[in-house]
A = this chain, B = another copy of it.
Amino acid sequence: MASSIHDLARHLNISIGTVSRALNGRADVNADTRKRVLEAARELNYSPNQSGRSLRQGATRSIAFMLQPHPGDQQYGEPFFIPFLTGLQARLAEYDLDLMVVMGEPGQYQQERLRRVVETRRADAVVLANTRREDDRIDYLSKAGFPFATLGRSQSGGDTYPSLDIDFERAGDEAVDRLVARGHRRIAAIRPSHDLNFGYLFLDGYRKALRRHGIEVDPGLIADGFINEAGGYQVTPRVMLSNDRPTAIIFNNDAMALGGCKALAEMGIRPGHDIAVIVIVDTPLCRYFSPALTAFRPSLEPMGRRLAEMLLASLPAFAGEEGPHIMHEVWPLELIARESD
């Protein structure tokens, strides 16, 4: 079962060097011997031992995906990440690369896990998610010169790594556009705290659209909260306290929207009737909620595949003929109109 390159060599009475070259498609091996080697490999059920390969080549052929949980989040952004992970894994598999998933507790612990991966060279590169505006993981990786790519932008690290993000700014902008077109002028925005970068991007788009429509930005209509249901539940009433109540709310997270709707229900306010609700980013939860929530949806699986490509293109060892180059892409979201706005 555990046949090595030595077994093949002994079996064929040739040297291990020739066997290796034959298997790796090198030019300097006779066509006939190559055929014999490949036959023997099939016969003896040979597969190269990855540990031996990794050691010699200095590359593990595996990529680590680091999932940093939001503070207070038990669910790791579920179900946002599964389709992304699916796409990422699919593309990596095409390059014969494995995917390592590293989670870890919220906060500091993730840094330790990251260091471990980097220092013990358990992976050739790292994919980061849940990027913060200032992200110490990015600082660490840039400083260490370890290859990585991010799902989400950050202000850390400069232009040294590939990144792929959703266009939260445009989604915030379009959400306001849509609401204004439907007659709303008092539009609230609820977003996550904790320096998550997309919260800033969303708010930029929100503000820009308001100004374009000549609507003054009212700080009393903007609130930050924990990025989970409890956070939405807790923070939504704050925005409704204004004596000039908003007629619409844009939630920058699905879980927060769910919690917010619960709070609204307790206040006797019905989304879709008494108030308009739009969610950025859509998940299956939005669809099955009652009323079904109008939401902006990203293409997560293609994004996963794309980020894998971008990361690979930035790795000298995997890139095509052209040298390594850093790319940044921002993908649009699609509006899924439902009942809540």
Contact = CB atoms under 8 A, between A and B. Distances in A.
A99 B89 CA distance: 14
Contacts of A145: 1
> How many protomers of this protein does the assembly include?
2
A54 B103 CA distance: 22
B99 A93 contact: no
Interface in A1-55: 1-2, 45, 47-52, 54-55
A101 interface: yes
A294 interface: no
A82 interface: yes
A47 to B, nearest CB: 4
A52 B1 CA distance: 22
Interface in A69-84: 74-76, 78-79, 81-83
Nearest to A79: B79
Question: What is the size category of the interface that chain A forms with chain B?
Answer: 35 or more
A120 interface: yes
A131 to B, nearest CB: 20
Nearest to A290: B290
A145 B1 CA distance: 10
B100 A100 contact: yes
A329 interface: no
Interface in A110-137: 113, 116, 119-122
Contacts of A82: 75-76, 78-79, 81-82
A305 to B, nearest CB: 13
A98 interface: yes
A101 B85 contact: yes
Nearest to A54: B51
A156 interface: no
A241 interface: no
Contact of A51 (B55, B100, B284): B55
A189 interface: no
Q: Which of A49, A89, A284 has the most CB of B within 10 A?
A: A284
A188 to B, nearest CB: 22
Interface of A: 1-2, 45, 47-52, 54-55, 58, 60, 62, 74-76, 78-79, 81-83, 85-86, 89-90, 93, 98-104, 113, 116, 119-122, 144-145, 258, 284-285, 288-290, 301
